[in-house]
Amino acid sequence: MSEQQSALFPTYARFPITLVKGEGSRLWDDKGNEYLDFASGLAVTNLGHVPEQVKNKLVEQLGELWHVSNLFHIPNQEKLAQLLVQNSCADAVFFCNSGAEANEAAIKLARRYNAKVLGKQRYEIITFHTSFHGRTLATLTATGQDKVKEGFHPLPEGFVYAPYNDADALKSFVTDKTCAIMLELVQGEGGVNPADPAFVQEVVRLCKEHDLLLIIDEIQTGMGRTGKLFAYEHYGIEPDIFTLAKGLASGFPIGAMLGKAKLREAFSAGSHGSTFGGTPIATAAGIATVETMVQDKVPERAAEMGDYFFAELKAKLSGNPLVKQIRGRGLLIGIECTLPASELVPAIHEAGLLVTAAGPNVIRLLPNLLVTREDADKGIALIASVLAQKAAASVQ
């Protein structure tokens, strides 16, 4: 359907593909074409499309109860929170409906903890260049990219932007107004940029020294994506706050903000809320997702498959002059190219593999975490052949 006929706001530059059915690593379009999916709905369908355990739990819940509001106790919400707390460094969870809302909650909690618990007039949050934290006014302001801010001024105060992976520069950004540092441990949208361990240690050191809250945005890196249930585990650190959304309920909308016990009192009754946050249905999908991930050791699988992908991609793409660097962690993989991703990604789609771009020149691979070696080989071969054709065409 052309944009003229569409009744939707044209906020998305959509690919000319209409997907109507999915199963595991496969998607089919409205013409019956089959695709291998290395996009996973932007790191959402981490267990593949329509995973059996989650589907069964959802169908069961759909017959019981959909919505009651947070004026009442919701057993599924409590259970999902317990599961997350048992499997992370956090002690308490707030549920919402998206990543931006989870980060919005984190920003509000950081400010309120400083104001109400510490009694300090501090509200500034340090974030990083090329970060991505969402599209609400506060979270687009937190985002270290100008393109998401154009036309939306005036923006909320209280955000400063430091260079990513620059441990030496960081301390000069801390002032007596700073209350928190917020970062992604692999920048997703910004180009698949992993955080250096030395940089992360400096972030943690500064947080300790100045009593700042460490907020990790795990919306893309969480739920097994990087080969651990949460990416902070790779660094041996414990954030005060971290946020989840994308992979948390296998495609059912949900967001979560998780924090340490000392933060509980800052979010007292009436301080924050959401009508839909943590409905019986959304949290049913979340419970089935987390239980499956823990029982089936899905993050470990992602780590192994990630190693396989990196080895194979390096082997199959080495020598291609268009490929500058292959980077990432686990199954969050970026192939930085010398050509714009906007030219390469559609060519890969035409070959039957769905991938996305991240930043101007990076092809981002986000296979589901249960992807088989056979499908990994197939997808990597398709990428190698498209990039070989593009390289041959560009020297002519």
Q: Based on CB atoms, which residue is closest to ligand PLP, 36 or 102? A: 102
Stretch that binds ligand PLP, among 59-67, 126-134, 297-305, 330-338 (CB under 6 A): 126-134
How far is residue 349 CA from its own chain's centroid? Answer: 22
Site mask for ligand PLP (CB under 6 A), range 243-272, x = bound:
--xx--------------------------
Q: Is 218 annotated as a binding residue?
A: yes
Partnered with residue 323 across adjacent β-strands are 337
Q: Which is nearer to ligand PLP, 138 or 287 (CB)?
A: 138
**Tokens standing for 247?**
């992979």
Contacting ligand PLP (CB under 6 A), which of 74, 100, 105, 333?
100
On whether 392 is known to bind a ligand per the annotation, the reply is no
> In angstroms, what is the C-alpha Rg of the chain?
21
Interface pattern 208-247 for ligand PLP (x via CB under 6 A)? ---------x-xx------------------------xx-
Coil, strand or helix at 129 = strand
- Give the shortest CB-32-to-ligand PLP separation in angstroms: 30
How is residue 254 written in tokens? Answer: 């949900």
Q: For residues 224 and 229, what is the distance between their CA atoms, to the nearest angstrom?
A: 4
Q: How many CB atoms are located within 10 Å of the residue 182 CB?
A: 27
CB closer to ligand PLP out of 44 and 288: 44
Burial class (CB in 10 A: 0-12, 13-18, 19+), 32: exposed
Options 41, 144, 158, 188; binder of ligand PLP; rule CB under 6 A: 188
Is it true that the peptide bond before 154 is cis, omega within 30 degrees of 0? Answer: yes
Asked if residues 216 and 183 have their Cβ atoms less than 8 Å apart, the reply is yes
Given 48, 51, 99, 222, the residue binding ligand PLP (CB under 6 A): 99
User: Which is nearer to ligand PLP, 142 or 387 (by Cβ)?
Assistant: 142
CA separation for the pair 55, 210 (Å, rounded): 46
Write down the least CB distance from residue 34 to ligand PLP, Å.
27
Q: Is 274 annotated as a binding residue?
A: yes
Which of 98, 320, 356, 361 touches ligand PLP by CB under 6 A? Answer: 98
CB of 225 to ligand PLP, least distance (A): 10
Contacting range for ligand PLP; rule: CB under 6 A; set: 29-37, 75-83, 95-103, 144-152: 95-103
Please provide the distance, in angstroms rounded to a whole number, between the alpha carbons at the two ends of the chain.
36
| Rounded CA separation 49/32 (Å) | 17
C-alpha 244 chain-centroid distance: 7
Distance of CA 339 to the CA centre of its chain: 25
Residues that bind ligand PLP (CB under 6 A): 98-100, 103, 132-134, 184, 188-189, 217, 219-220, 245-246
- Residues in the annotated binding site for pyridoxal 5'-phosphate: 99-100, 132, 217-220, 275
